[in-house]
Amino acid sequence: VLQSSTGQTLFRMDGLDSLTTLDGLILTGSTQSAVVVTGGTPRFFNCEFEGNSGQRGGAVVATDVVRIRIEYCVFRNNTAEENGGAVHITGMDTDAFDWGPFIGQSLFHNNSAQYGGALVIMGSAPTPQVVSSVFAENTASISGGAVLSQATDLYLNNCTFLRNTAETEDGFSAA
Q: Is 82 exposed, middle or buried (0-12, 13-18, 19+ CB in 10 A)?
A: middle
Name the pTM for this structure. 0.94
How far is Cα 86 from Cα 69, in angstroms, rounded to an integer?
Answer: 15
Predicted confidence (pLDDT) per residue in 96-131, tens digit: 677 789 999 999 999 999 999 999 999 866 789 999
The most confident of 2-11, 113-122, 146-155, by mean pLDDT: 113-122
Predicted confidence (pLDDT) per residue in 24-50, tens digit: 999 999 999 999 999 988 999 999 999
